[in-house]
Amino acid sequence: MAKKIKVVIKSPEKNINLPRISVKTAIRFVRFGLWTSKFFTESDEEFQIFLKNNKELMLDFLKAIEKELKDLEPFTLVKVESDQQFVLIDIV
C-alpha cells in the first residue's frame, strides 16, 4: 500500500534526499503553502486570484489522490535522468 512520498534530486551543484513523508503530511504542507500565499503581496495579482478561487478545488483533488494511493502498490511517479542530473519521486 502506497502511503509515503520519497524525493531524490541529484545535480553537480547539490544533492537533495528528502526523508519519506506520508501523503497526508504532504497535503498538510500544500495546505499551509496555500494559506501563506495570501501574505506574499508582491506576487502576481492574477496568480493570487487564481489561488484564492481554486484553493478548495486543489485540496479536494489532493485528498482524492491520497484516497486512491492507499489501494496501490509502491511505484515510481517521476524519474528524470540527464547526463548530470537526476530526479526521482517514488510513492512507497
What ranges in the chain are assigned the alpha helix state H?
Answer: 23-36, 45-69
* pLDDT, tens only, 31-80: 999 888 878 778 788 888 898 899 999 999 999 998 988 888 999 999 99
- Give me the pLDDT at residue 78, please: 93
pLDDT for res 38: 78
Question: pTM surpassing 0.85?
Answer: no
Task: Enter the C-alpha cell of residue 58.
Answer: 486543489
Taking a C-beta distance cutoff of 8 angstroms, is the pair 91, 2 a contact? yes
